[in-house]
Amino acid sequence: MIQSQPTAATQAMASHIDPETATSDLAIRTQKLDLWYGTFQALSQIDLNIKNGIITSMIGPSGCGKSTFLRSVNRINERLGYVRIKGTIEVFDKDIYDQDVELVQLRKQIGMVFQRPNPLPASIRDNILYGHRLHYSGKRLSRTEQDSIVEDALRQVLLWDKVKDKLNKRATGLSLEEQQKLCIARLLPVQPQILLMDEPCSALDPKGTAAVEELIWELRGKYTILIVTHNMAQARRASEECIFMLMGKVVEHTPTDQLFVTPRHKETADYIEGRYG
């Protein structure tokens, strides 16, 4: 069940969320999850089983709770003092609100990509190494090791060939598409298990959107990816399972093709056919 934030003493004994020790093939499981912003209930009785290693999209009208759910999975909502949560969120069978779960370690294992790219005002190289330096501050790396980390991360996001000759240039000089890819690459050196993406293409043009969707598909299997999108065509193209939410509740969670071709619920059919939202 949801508990209070760990104390300094319990943080010292922080345990890792480890997919290798999980007894199921689920990356994320929630049971009876409720969340309130003050007196407003944004999530209601959310029961979800999100499989490991696949791409799952979340669709639904604005304000239906998609982004709120995403931010609950790595506990970003706790930054707001007026948020109250009940229920259970497990990541690889570990309740993320257990007293031995440290927030820094949790957010290392669950990376987050936001609507607009947010590269650091530093070089491309320093952006890639930032997370590694933050989480492994006691481990000194040789120049060769650093170069390997930078190249591997940029290759994973299909950006290496474009930026390999300008690694010391400021990241903010990249196109929006390249900045978003860089923000994804910045997460990879700390070896996350899960990537949460909150409308990662909303600031991009169609060409940039296609490029990021291609990247998301390339990362399939290496990471569990949960993507929130208002773009139903994108959800259909770039995910294997899809969750439809409405007014803070999960209406339907099925394979993506099934949800768009033969939805089980009238509310889902009305939404994907454009009758509201």
Tens digit of pLDDT at every position of the chain (277 positions): 454 444 433 333 345 666 666 667 999 999 999 999 999 999 999 999 999 999 999 999 999 999 999 999 999 988 888 999 999 999 999 999 998 998 888 989 999 999 999 999 999 999 999 988 887 766 788 999 999 999 999 999 999 999 999 999 999 999 999 999 999 999 999 999 999 999 999 989 999 999 999 999 999 999 999 999 999 999 999 999 999 999 999 999 999 999 999 999 999 999 998 877 6
Beta strands in 151-231 (DSSP E): 194-198, 224-228
CA angle 4, 6, 11 (to 5 degrees): 170
Which pair of structure tokens corresponds to residue 58? 């979340």
pLDDT for position 79: 84
Topology of domain 8-272 in CATH is Rossmann fold (3.40.50)
Residue 34, beta-bridge partner list: 86
Task: Name the residue ranges covered by the structural domains of the chain.
Answer: 8-272
